[in-house]
Amino acid sequence: MLAYIVRRLLYAIPILIGVNLLTFALFFMVNSPDQMAQAQLGDKHMDPQAIEAWKAQRGYDKPLFINDAEDSDGLLTDTIFFDKSVRLFVLDFGKSDEGRSIAEDIQQRMWPSLAVALPTFVIGLAVNIVFALFVVMFRASLFDTAAMVACVVLMSISGVFYVFAGQFFFARMWNLVPISGYLGGMDAIRFLILPVIIGVIGGIGSGTRLYRTLFLEEANKDYVRTARAKGVPELTVLFRHILPNGLIPILTSVVVVIPSLFMGSLLVESFFGIPGLGSYTLDAIQAQDFAVVRSMVFLGSILYIVGLILTDISYTLVDPRVRLS
Amino acid sequence: MEMLMTVKPVLLWSDWLIFLLVLTLILFFINLGKNPVARKRWRSVFASRVGMASFLVIVFYVLIALLDSMHFRYPLDKLEGSDEQHYSQEVNSLLDVVLEDLRGHDEKTYSSPFAIHSFSKENRTLENGQVVRDYPRLEYAGSHLRKHETVGSDVFERSMNALVVGLGIALVLALLIQLLRRLTGKQASAWLPWKTVYLTLGGLILVTVWILQVGGYYHILGTNKVGQDVLFQAIKAVRTGVLIGTLATLITLPIAVILGIAAGYFKGLIDDVVQYIYTTLSSIPGILLIAASVLLIDVYIETHAEQFRLSAERADFQFLALCFILGMTSWTGLCRLLRAETLKVSQLDYVQAARAFGVSHSRIIGKHILPNVTHIVLIALVLDFSGFVLAEAVLSYIGVGVDPSMASWGNMINEARAELSREPVVWWSVSAAFVMMFVLVLAANLFADRVRDAFDPRTVN
Amino acid sequence: MSLLEVSNLTIELPASRGPFASPAHTLVNGISFAIEPGEILALVGESGSGKSLTALSILRLLPDALTIIAGSVQLQGEELFALTEKQMNRVRGFRAAMIFQEPQVALNPVQTLEQQIGEVLTLHKGQTGQARRDAVVGLLQEVGIPDPQQRLSWYPHQLSGGQKQRVMIAMALACEPDLLIADEPTTALDVTIQKQILELLNQLRKQRQLGVLLITHDMGVVSEMADHVAVMRHGDILEYRSAVEFFANPQHEYSRQLIHSLPERRFRPSQQQPQALLTVDNLKVWFPQRQGILQRVVGHTKAVDGVSLQIHKGETLALVGESGSGKSTVGRAILALEQATEGDIRFDGQSLQGLSDKQFLPYRKRIQVIFQDPFSSMNPRMTIRQILAEGMTSLGLAGKGEEHEAKLEQLLERVGLEAQHLDRYPHEFSGGQRQRIAIARAIAVEPELIICDEPTSALDVSIRGQVMELLLELQRDMGLSYLFITHDLSIIPHLAHRVAVMKNGVLVEQGLCADVMDAPQHEYTKALLAAAPVL
pLDDT one-digit tens code per residue, C422-450:
888 888 888 889 999 999 999 998 999 99
Q: Which helix (H) or strand (E) holds B419?
A: helix B409-419
- Taking chain A, what is the end-to-end CA distance rounded to the nearest angstrom? 7
Strand ranges in A180-322 using DSSP code E only, listed in sequence order: none
**pLDDT confidence of residue C349:** 86
- Centre a 10 Å sphere on the Cβ of residue B438 and count the other Cβ atoms it contains: 18
Structural domain boundaries, residue C303: 276-287+299-379+447-531
Quote the ipTM score: 0.82
C468 within 8 A of C495, measured Cβ to Cβ: yes
Per-residue pLDDT at B31 exceeds 90? no
pLDDT band for position B458 (cuts 50, 70, 90): low
Per-residue pLDDT at A325 exceeds 60? no
Q: For chain C, how long is the longest CA-to-CA vector?
A: 80
Alpha carbons C41 and C58: distance in angstroms, whole number: 14
Whether residue C513 sits in one domain with residue C471: yes
- Out of A6, A223, A230, the one facing C123 most closely (by C-beta) is A230
Residues of B in contact with A23 (CB under 8 A): 284, 292
- A172-186, B173-187, B369-383, C42-56: range with highest mean pLDDT: C42-56
Residue C354 lies in a domain: yes
Residues of B in contact with A164 (CB under 8 A): 416, 420, 430
Alpha carbons A317 and C219: distance in angstroms, whole number: 46
Residue C390 lies in a domain: no
pLDDT (average), residues C36-61: 90
Cβ neighbours for A6, distance < 8 A, ≥ 6 positions apart: C293
Whether residue C185 sits in one domain with residue C101: yes
CB contact under 8 A, A301 and B284: yes
**pLDDT confidence of residue B422:** 76
Alpha carbons A177 and A208: distance in angstroms, whole number: 27
Per-residue pLDDT at A324 exceeds 60? no
DSSP C409-445: HHHHHHTT--GGGGGS-GGGS-HHHHHHHHHHHHHTT
**pLDDT confidence of residue A42:** 66
pLDDT band for position A46 (cuts 50, 70, 90): low
pLDDT band for position A44 (cuts 50, 70, 90): low
pLDDT band for position C271 (cuts 50, 70, 90): low
Per-residue pLDDT at C19 exceeds 60? no
Per-residue pLDDT at A77 exceeds 70? no
| Exposure b/e, C450-485, CB count within 10 A at least 16 = b | bbbbbbbebbbbbbbbbbbebbbebbeeeebbbbbb
Per-residue pLDDT at B201 exceeds 50? yes
List Cα–Cα distances, C370 to B353, C449, C471, in angstroms. 8, 11, 11
- Taking chain C, what is the end-to-end CA distance rounded to the nearest angstrom? 32
CB contact under 8 A, C108 and A223: yes
Residues of A in contact with C109 (CB under 8 A): 223, 245, 320-321
Whether residue C202 sits in one domain with residue C75: yes
pLDDT band for position B461 (cuts 50, 70, 90): very low
Question: Long-range pairs for B153-158 at CB < 8 Å and ≥24 separation?
Answer: B154/B217, B155/B114, B155/B214, B155/B218, B158/B213, B158/B214, B158/B217
- Paired with C484 in beta bridges are C318, C452
Alpha carbons C369 and C412: distance in angstroms, whole number: 17
Whether residue C98 sits in one domain with residue C150: yes
CATH number at residue C305: 3.40.50.300
Strand ranges in C348-479 using DSSP code E only, listed in sequence order: 350-351, 367-370, 449-453
Whether residue C281 sits in one domain with residue C235: no
Strand order in the sheet with C506-512: C367-370, C449-453, C481-486, C316-320, C498-503, C506-512
Nearest to C308 by CA among C329, C328, C279, C339: C279
CB distance from C84 to chain A under 8 Å? no
Chains A and C: how many Cβ contacts under 8 Å?
Answer: 83
The single-letter code of the amino acid at B14 is S
Kindly state the percentage of chain C with pLDDT values over 70: 96
CB distance from C281 to chain A under 8 Å? no
- Across chain A, what does the average pLDDT equal? 82
CB distance from B418 to chain A under 8 Å? no
**pLDDT confidence of residue A119:** 92
pTM here?
A: 0.85
DSSP B348-394: SHHHHHHHHTT--HHHIIIIIIHHHHHHHHHHHHHHHHHHHHHHHHH
**pLDDT tens-digit readout, C383-399:** 899 999 998 888 888 77
pLDDT (average), residues C120-130: 91
**pLDDT confidence of residue B112:** 78
Whether residue C306 sits in one domain with residue C247: no
Rounded to 5°, angle at Cα C40 from C39 and C46? 160
Nearest to B110 by CA among B149, B84, B141, B131: B141
pLDDT band for position B340 (cuts 50, 70, 90): very high
Whether residue C115 sits in one domain with residue C14: yes
CB contact under 8 A, C381 and B37: yes
Q: Name the DSSP letter for residue B84.
A: P
CB contact under 8 A, A230 and C120: yes
Closest Cα in chain A to C116: A227
Residue C404 lies in a domain: no
Residue C121 lies in a domain: yes
pLDDT (average), residues B45-56: 90
CB contact under 8 A, B299 and A31: yes
The C-alpha of B239 sits at a distance from chain A's nearest C-alpha, in angstroms, of 18
In A167-233, alpha helices (H): 188-219, 222-229
Per-residue pLDDT at C9 exceeds 60? yes
CB contact under 8 A, C108 and A226: yes
- Paired with C73 in beta bridges are C6
CB contact under 8 A, B191 and C20: yes
Whether residue C191 sits in one domain with residue C72: yes
- Out of A36, A160, A217, the one facing B393 most closely (by C-beta) is A160
Angle between helices A188-219 and A159-166 (to 10 degrees): 140
Angle between helices A2-24 and A290-318 (to 10 degrees): 160
Question: Long-range pairs for B410-417 at CB < 8 Å and ≥24 separation?
Answer: B411/B237, B412/B224, B412/B230, B412/B233, B412/B234, B412/B237, B413/A158, B413/A160, B415/B224, B415/B225, B416/A164
Per-residue pLDDT at A62 exceeds 80? no
**pLDDT confidence of residue C167:** 92
**pLDDT confidence of residue C439:** 93
pLDDT band for position B1 (cuts 50, 70, 90): very low
pLDDT band for position B32 (cuts 50, 70, 90): low
Residues of B in contact with A263 (CB under 8 A): 285
> A285-299, C322-336, C394-408: which range is least confident on average?
A285-299
- Across chain C, what does the average pLDDT equal? 88
List Cα–Cα distances, B272 to A74, A325, B280, C140, C287, in angstroms. 35, 18, 12, 46, 19
Closest Cα in chain B to C453: B349
List Cα–Cα distances, B228 to B101, B140, B225, C317, in angstroms. 12, 11, 7, 85
Alpha carbons B187 and B179: distance in angstroms, whole number: 13
When scoring A144, A156, A206 by the number of chain B Cβ atoms within 10 A, the one with the most, hence best to mutate, is A156
Alpha carbons C179 and C99: distance in angstroms, whole number: 11
Alpha carbons A240 and A236: distance in angstroms, whole number: 5
The C-alpha of B448 sits at a distance from chain A's nearest C-alpha, in angstroms, of 10
Structural domains counted in chain C: 2
B155 within 8 A of B114, measured Cβ to Cβ: yes
Per-residue pLDDT at A48 exceeds 80? no
Alpha carbons C11 and C48: distance in angstroms, whole number: 13
Residues of B in contact with A282 (CB under 8 A): 398
| CATH-assigned architecture of domain B238-460 | Orthogonal Bundle (1.10)
CB distance from B441 to chain A under 8 Å? yes
The C-alpha of B190 sits at a distance from chain C's nearest C-alpha, in angstroms, of 8
CB contact under 8 A, A221 and C93: no
CB contact under 8 A, B367 and C364: no
List Cα–Cα distances, B67 to B27, B238, B241, in angstroms. 20, 11, 14
When scoring A158, A180, A256, A301 by the number of chain B Cβ atoms within 10 A, the one with the most, hence best to mutate, is A158
- Paired with C7 in beta bridges are C72
Closest Cα in chain C to A221: C105
C211 within 8 A of C39, measured Cβ to Cβ: yes
Whether residue C247 sits in one domain with residue C282: no
Whether residue C282 sits in one domain with residue C230: no
**pLDDT tens-digit readout, B254-309:** 999 999 999 999 988 999 999 999 888 888 888 888 887 887 787 777 777 777 77
Per-residue pLDDT at C350 exceeds 60? yes
- Centre a 10 Å sphere on the Cβ of residue B126 and count the other Cβ atoms it contains: 9
